[in-house]
Chains A and B, each alone.
Chain A
């Protein structure tokens, strides 16, 4: 059964991908959605058995690589952490599959799209069920491939192609760190198997290791390297530039890959490695700071974007930052809890945005929207639910998970924890602000599109609305239902051995400390959310002149945010242009002028020059030859007489 969960999507992908023409569009959709649906049902059963029943297990499939002591198996590891991820992935993926049937109804290559989606799901499931780092890397790169294919799905669009390459290459930069981290782990533990690593981690703590000429605390450097991989996949500050561009892909892709599942792989990785990370406190501080900065930084950009999908993309980036600082202070369950609730409400937001885009014929710019709420009331309601959950309004899912993360950051009583707390609070205001800005710009005010489009705006078909309802249920209830198990009193029994949290001073673990923070800390995020909503209402409903005036007043800041802190420009100048230049120099000057010039061509031309001189002697006149011969003969005779005798 566990094997079926993982491989059913692959089967669906193969059938739809290779036999799409034989079984037709409808056939491909039925096969992939069916396989996904079964996989999701089995995923729920597995969750009940493994997580609630407390029976972790591992299915070994076969040997993969074995070279000396470097042993890697294909194996599926199911513990609570995996079961949670599996349920999130399969449920959201099923929703997205079904939604895509409607969303892509006008597209020419439906089987290909469905195949890619299923392929992605397979890779993601391989990632979360891995029982060693290398298989995790397989899934890691596999989702990268699927993401590349799906971002570039509309391959006739140059922007989509550029975005897909960017996504792959930037992720590779992260993978570079990840790979080195794997090698480091192997050096330290002589294994890449999770069980072996986790068992030996306490003994390895404190050892040092040489890396790039410096002596480091071994676990710290290895953890940081792995975290660089996580930064790439989860679009953290510095390696985030690919995520907004990835919105070039079809909207269901953004919902599934770039909001709910793939981008959270980094969070999963750190949580998975918690038994090792706990012994590398310095690395965790790095994680906290990066997460906190990203949470704030991405939220500031989200405030200024005009593309509806990009706003949500930056929001994702920011929410991932929250998860990372929660991981950084050691509250792994809180991060995974938010990962789950976020998957529901962010997928809901994206698919609702897709529904809006679908309704008004592929328009994504919010400046050309407005007044749509009467036309598409259900989508409007869904968007509200998603936004309420995102802003952390009480009793919606996000409220529970976001609060526990902020409380943990505060409760950690460390410098970085407090820093993360305040960054998180600042980001919370911005989050609420941009969410309501999005709502108002899209659904309220006067319509800013042409009359024809507005008149033809229509609610999406049931096949798209169904999944939205499912996700909305998740966005409302998943926090309330999961709280007790994930981060409440039942936490220890629920997670079992899959996550390790060392006891802090006073013998409490971080979650207990989080529960004991002052009341104002618990209330602050909610108040901040309300302030954000209030400001947005003021600026976009009551006094619509404010945004333009503000933008004018602080123009440099506005431009700075609008241009996304100029990261793209800086990277382009620093890396892309330089690589190109170096390539040209190496080729034109290195290879052609220098090596060839002195090497083969030089020798050849020298030979040619010599031959040319020699041939000048061959004039073709008989008396020249006769003369030469005479001189030669006399020289020979003289030589013989002088030396021969």
Chain B
């Protein structure tokens, strides 16, 4: 019984929390905001624990969708409320439910105005994210996919920095443009296949010509989300202006929507087009890796630097999945999870000093190792994970992707691997300017080291980074069957398409 409704429960429980906040937190401003915070933390904590049940109940031996629930939604149209997870989407659900309570905790002292509304926005955001990853109906997916934008838009626009409105609009413009095209594609697919059910669409077998256009339409939406070069410029602005927790979710989960979309839609539904466009993806991704790494090197703003590094890391991801090798695809999923943790943590690291100093200028810092040794250590670990040091989560993803890339093309692997060198350069340079050096600036001398709440935020992230780095099998084993299935179907579909084409000649 619980198993049937588990995914639905995880998806909508945050909305229950919203209801509680609306009902119970009236009256005194101060009291209301404390109550709202507690309520939000409690809700997201419960959601996370509940989502662990998905993991417990998950059967790693099958590639079928599990914990499925299906209800007619619009009668007679075959559009339904259909949810379920496989070895790929399950991890993203867990990533979302894991990061949200951390975000709530990270906002504890940083958000001072409209706390209730802020917490509500985060809870709604969680529902949207989880809903998107569990959707097995493309229209339902679209609703959640777009729904995510609204709370995020508000979080940046209301609680953001000085230039927040510009950033929020840029974010919205970019992402919406892509989405419109995707909606058109979805309607086309519905028109042809007569269903919006994702598992059935995967078997629909669209004609190669149509695939070409559908793929492009989806690409317009997903490429913006990833983001791929050259549609990446919204990300640095959005990150810079967003509050810390907003950045964490943005980097941790929202960027993964694009990658997930490629895996769930583009590759299984449009295999011919995916094969056709793979070189395009490789080209754009390699440019992203090198170009944005170089740009990261010259940044003066901490958040911008990390934002650009995110784009470079996501370049690895898109390369990995389109190599369509076991290592490449597993590596790219793993890299997405790892990046979700690591870049989220890096933004939290920036948040720690931002809360104290209210500036993100790198030059305003220096020598923090002297009075914040614990912070220096935590930052060091995440920096090294971002650089891909073996033993941390970053390494496993990167090496698997590169192994996959090497099989696709040695040029691809060699160019991508330059990211390893450039990544080390910009991260170490950042670390040196912020943490090392003599403690000379008077304003920094009074800074205190991490407090208990902050340690509580970082501890689970640290554990995960090492866990994923030292024993990644926990994660890889559960996705193996689904990934194999994805690749098998892809190869079979390509084989079928090649057959008639050859016969025609």
Contact = CB atoms under 8 A, between A and B. Distances in A.
A587 B233 CA distance: 10
Contact of A595 (B230, B367, B403, B438): B230
A66 B479 CA distance: 11
Given A155-B437, A161-B437, A586-B291, A65 B169 contact: no
Contacts of A165: 425, 428-429, 432
Nearest to A175: B420
Interface string A144-159: 0100100010011010
Interface in B381-412: 384, 389-391, 395-396, 399-400, 402-403, 406-407, 410-411
A176 interface: yes
Interface stretch (A210-218, A242-250, A285-293): A210-218
A156 B438 contact: yes
Interface in A585-605: 586-587, 590-591, 595-596, 599-600, 603-604
Interface in B134-184: 169-170, 173-174
Contacts of B230: 595
Nearest to B405: A183
Contacts of B297: 579-580, 583
Contacts of B425: 165, 169, 172, 579
Interface stretch (A95-103, A134-142, A301-309, A417-425): A134-142
A158 B233 contact: no
A155 B379 CA distance: 15
Contacts, number: 151
Contacts of B403: 70, 183, 186
B50 interface: no
A594 to B, nearest CB: 8
A582 B169 contact: no
Interface residues of B, number: 63
Interface residues of A, number: 57
Contacts of B330: 67-68
Nearest to B415: A212
B424 interface: yes
A608 B439 CA distance: 47
A212 B413 CA distance: 10
A329 to B, nearest CB: 30
B169 A62 contact: no
B91 to A, nearest CB: 15
A603 B473 CA distance: 47
B24 to A, nearest CB: 41
B414 interface: yes
Given A65-B400, A141-B390, A179 B420 contact: yes
B498 interface: no
A152 B369 CA distance: 12
Contacts of A590: 291, 295
Given A65-B472, A165-B432, A183-B413, A591 B295 contact: yes
13 contacts: A65-B400, A67-B330, A138-B391, A156-B436, A156-B437, A172-B424, A175-B420, A176-B418, A179-B402, A182-B399, A213-B411, A583-B294, A586-B294
Given A65-B472, A148-B428, 15 more contacts: A65-B399, A66-B473, A134-B390, A138-B390, A141-B390, A152-B436, A161-B432, A176-B418, A187-B406, A210-B410, A583-B294, A583-B295, A586-B292, A590-B291, A591-B236
Interface of B: 169-170, 173-174, 230-231, 233-234, 236, 291-292, 294-299, 325-327, 330-331, 367, 369-370, 384, 389-391, 395-396, 399-400, 402-403, 406-407, 410-411, 413-414, 417-418, 420-422, 424-425, 428-429, 432, 435-439, 470-473, 476-477, 480
Question: What are the nearest 9 A-B pairs in CB distance?
Answer: A68-B326, A183-B406, A138-B390, A583-B294, A583-B298, A155-B436, A156-B438, A587-B295, A583-B297
